[in-house]
Structure 1
Amino acid sequence: MTDLIKTILCPIALVSGALISGASQAATYTQIPTVPDGVNCMPLGINDSGRAVGNCTKIGNGANLIPWVANAGSAQVALPSLVAGQGCKANTISNANWIMGFCNRADSVATGVVWKGDVPANPPIVLNPLPATILPLPIRAADVRTVPTAMNERGGVVGWSISENDRATSVLWAAGSGTPQFIFPAGLLAQRYEDECSPVDVNLTLVNGYPSVALNCPGPGGEVIPRVATRGTTGYVMTDLAFPTGADYCVISGINDRLNVAGQCFYPNSDINVTKAASWTTPASAPQVLNTSVGTASSTININNNGFILISRSDGTGNVSNAVWFPTPTPIQVPVDVMPPANMTWPEAMSIRANSTSTVVALSLINGSQHRVGCTWTNAAGVVCIPAINGGLASNITAMSPNAGYVVGVVKDGTQTAIAVQATLP
């Protein structure tokens, strides 16, 4: 955190200094050897141990993906399906080695599952939907499928239990458990079903034994009501986030382990009152919006556990840029630009993490040869891109570990085959 705090306190001096430095050595990709019968592989997650997950296309006429897990420095190992001959997809992995994804049932309907990444031969655990109820009235049929949307580093999953009429109830599954638990508090007479909220994030910190959940819920006029569910003594308690003066509504993008919340707020006449990235120190706090001297629109990508927020914003010329924002109680905020080198354009930042000394951003850029390349950024080194391997010219980073120690991505090799790669960051 130290390097960015200095930048916030003295932005002009440091922005003109070492944001782009050739002194830092780039990381090196290594190929994650492909699973048998697989080709064109894409990793989607990696944890602090360097264990990665992803999916490959299957060679031949089969339409199903091959989900896999790979230990650091080892080949991909295929994850078992729920039903023989049906497909699955792995989406991410936690530090506790739980893998979140989907599998098709025998009826070809996809539902949420988790695998244990350190025992990949074990069958997936189904994230079950809510069961039928008889009492209290009215009688309600069992839900029919689930959609996981986020997972914390313990392996706790949040998502939707979907009814037969395609209505969603927000639920939580504890790490390694297939039993759904309600997030929305019970009403005076009965449990509330079909809240239609979208659980966007779940943190690691336990409050009364449970993690906190960030949700975007439908309002009566079609607007969004951003909420944080924090566990009370008998169930979850919902806190609606406060809106800044003049805003129509706000949307949550993420919540960290300190209960800092990040998102963006929308205003009437948005050509002038532009969308602004927003931060809440706690769910009960007043919001801090990103008011900059140039007044351009901004939105949140995600937030790390030190409270630094990765944003996307217009640069005033019609192009999009990225920056790192540490909210401060001042009228004008000074985010730190993730400044591409002179010969690179079209930045697309995807993740912000923190190691013991630095805030790290993973992004991709278009280089002077018009190839997209995967890169990282720190305040000390600026943007440092990772060279492609195996005769390839194009690459992309798809995930970064929570401790900013590893990245995974895809390289198009010399035969134009997508290979899964991993790099240890310096």
Structure 2
Amino acid sequence: MKLPSRLATSIGLIVAGLDLAGMAMPAQAAWTNENSAALLQSANVGINSNGVSTGNGVTTAFARTAYKSSAVAGGATILTPLFSNEACAAGKPTDTGVIPGVCQNSVGVATPVFWNAANNNPPTAEQPLPGLLGLAAGVRAELTAINNAQIGAGVSIDGTDTGTPVTWSNTGVPTALNPPLLDSNTNCSVADINNAATPAVVGNCPAGAAGSGKSRAVYWSSPTAAFAVLSLPSGADYCNAMEINDSGQIMGECIFLVTGTPDVHKTVQWGSGGTGPTVLLTVNGSTSLRNWPVDQNSSGEIAFNHEVNGGYVLPGIWTTSSTNGIGIAAPTGSSEAAATAISDTGVVSICAEVGGNEEAAVSHGGAAPILIAALSGGHNDCATAISKNGTYVAGYSDGPGTNTQTVNSVEELTP
């Protein structure tokens, strides 16, 4: 389970800005407000198959904080920080209740951590590498992914700001990920780790002096293996690995240099062990020059966004059995929408623009989106996450009542 990208490097912004003008369109489902009296603002970033959602907010003391909430118990519970009165932010919870995140330490430095959703104990900190006899020791770390067994993956960074890719034990002890012979792991980044009995890791490494600043997508078949460089599809300039599922399928993005056509991005998938890749070339049978991967499920289906006429963006779902994806139509009254996640049942969560407002929606297997109304009195909402089993969807909404400047974490059964 990977973290939202902004959590990998800093505490980041807690709540997205909203356009609060106008009226929301009619919808076919409704949210449950999970905000609590302890939070002025809150927004969910993830939800697991047990209905445990996580997110970030601002307390009544105007402090940034991470929280968890339950579809059964309701109401947000602030997660215990690493140090008292220091800020934290949470990522998406795993189905075993592991909550990755980041907290400021006693001197205000962002420190990767994870919590256990079953309790409200202080988090476990992921430690930087100790170095050899204290030399080149890490001074900070960045967690980018964690699996069901609490095995984390990320980067340890030394005092010269040089990074080394690592995995962490379930107690936060780091081990460096290896390069092949005559290669280097210096400044390699980690993108994701899976839940296999021997977990595999994907990431990206610098292409070296001859690489002109490009990266190489890489794959570690285990935490002790040397990385293998993933093959480029025909015509690609370079690629980035982004996610790996438990079957070993790897989602990524490749950049192509096409004469007279700038900025050509395409979604790709490498098979188990790094075979392939297959490239998303068309959407609904028409050439797609620019499409971007968003999320991959356990069977290898990928939610993506793609550019359409007018420069707008719309969501889609790709089964990866061919090079053609299914475009998801914009909701009625909308010209633009974006996928945010996909469940193992093929349900895509969506944020759309309808009548000048944000509107949450879901699409079942590429079907027409089902809108989810903002809280009573609100005008904007967004579905930021969906559980792996497809049962729950989570996000944020403004409102309720006249308090339309308040952003609330919300959750409901998937319509």
TM over 0.5: yes
Task: Map residues 142-181 of structure 1 onto 2, 5 A cutoff.
Answer: 142-174=137-169, 176-181=170-175
Letter in 2 for 1:226: A
Matched, 1:303 2:296: yes
1:116: Cα distance to partner?
Answer: 1.1
2:352–2:361: 8 Å Cα contact kept in structure 1? yes
Which of 177, 181, 186 aligns to 1:183? It is 177
> Which position in structure 2 is the counterpart of 1:30?
32
1:185: Cα distance to partner?
Answer: 4.3
Relative to total residues, which structure has the larger strand share, 1 or 2? 2
What is the alpha-carbon distance in structure 1 between the residues aligned to residue 298 and residue 205 of structure 2?
24
What is the alpha-carbon distance in structure 2 between the residues aligned to residue 172 and residue 324 of structure 1?
31
1:363–1:397: 8 Å Cα contact kept in structure 2? yes
1:40–1:419: 8 Å Cα contact kept in structure 2? yes
Residues 200-233 of structure 1: per-residue CA shift (max 9 Å, x gap): 1111112xxx31111011102211110111128x
Residues 31-76 of structure 1: per-residue CA shift (max 9 Å, x gap): 114152x21111222111111112221224x4x3122112223222
> Which position in structure 1 is the counterpart of 2:112?
112
Task: Map residues 54-133 of structure 1 onto 2, 5 A cutoff.
Answer: 54-60=55-61, 62=62, 64-73=63-72, 74-120=74-120, 122-133=121-132
Q: Bigger shift: 177-186 or 333-342?
A: 177-186
Q: Check 1:334–1:387 CA distance in 2 against 1; reply closer, same or farther (3 A cut).
A: same
* Number of residue pairs matched by the alignment: 378
> Which position in structure 2 is the counterpart of 1:419?
408
Task: Map residues 14-413 of structure 1 onto 2, 5 A cutoff.
Answer: 26-36=28-38, 38-60=39-61, 62=62, 64-73=63-72, 74-120=74-120, 122-134=121-133, 140-174=135-169, 176-185=170-179, 195-206=186-197, 210-220=198-208, 221=211, 222-231=213-222, 235-269=224-258, 271-272=260-261, 274-292=264-282, 293-328=286-321, 333-355=323-345, 359-368=346-355, 370-379=356-365, 381-413=367-399
SS at 1:311's partner residue? strand
Residues 338-389 of structure 1: per-residue CA shift (max 9 Å, x gap): 111331122111111123xxx1100111113x11011100137520011112
Which ranges of 4 or more aligned residues in structure 1 deviate by more than 6 Å?
none
What is the alpha-carbon distance in structure 2 between the residues aligned to residue 155 and residue 242 of structure 1?
30
1:241: Cα distance to partner?
Answer: 1.0
1:320: Cα distance to partner?
Answer: 1.9
Letter in 1 for 2:97: N
SS at 2:91's partner residue? strand
1:187: Cα distance to partner?
Answer: 5.4
Residues 135-179 of structure 1: per-residue CA shift (max 9 Å, x gap): xxxx624211111112223332211111111111111123x3211
2:99–2:114: 8 Å Cα contact kept in structure 1? yes
What is the alpha-carbon distance in structure 2 between the residues aligned to residue 40 and residue 323 of structure 1?
31
What is the alpha-carbon distance in structure 2 between the residues aligned to residue 255 and residue 270 of structure 1?
32
Residues 69-104 of structure 1: per-residue CA shift (max 9 Å, x gap): 122232222221222222222222111111111111
Q: Bigger shift: 320-329 or 383-392?
A: 320-329
Residues 99-156 of structure 1: per-residue CA shift (max 9 Å, x gap): 1111111111111111111111x1111111111312xxxx624211111112223332
Residues 292-337 of structure 1: per-residue CA shift (max 9 Å, x gap): 24342222222111111122222244222221112235xxx33111
Q: What is the aligned-residue RMSD (CA, Å)?
A: 2.2
Tell me the TM-score normalised to structure 2 length.
0.85
Question: Based on CA coordinates, which of the two structures has the bigger radius of gyration?
Answer: 1
Q: Check 1:346–1:380 CA distance in 2 against 1; reply closer, same or farther (3 A cut).
A: closer
What is the alpha-carbon distance in structure 1 between the residues aligned to residue 68 and residue 176 of structure 2?
30
What is the alpha-carbon distance in structure 2 between the residues aligned to residue 419 and residue 354 of structure 1?
26
Q: Check 1:35–1:237 CA distance in 2 against 1; reply closer, same or farther (3 A cut).
A: farther
2:250–2:274: 8 Å Cα contact kept in structure 1? no
Question: Which blocks of at least 5 consecutive residues in structure 1 are unaligned?
Answer: 1-24
1:35–1:77: 8 Å Cα contact kept in structure 2? no
1:270: Cα distance to partner?
Answer: 5.7
Question: Which blocks of at least 5 consecutive residues in structure 2 are unaligned?
Answer: 1-26
1:199: Cα distance to partner?
Answer: 0.9
SS at 2:324's partner residue? coil
Letter in 1 for 2:57: C
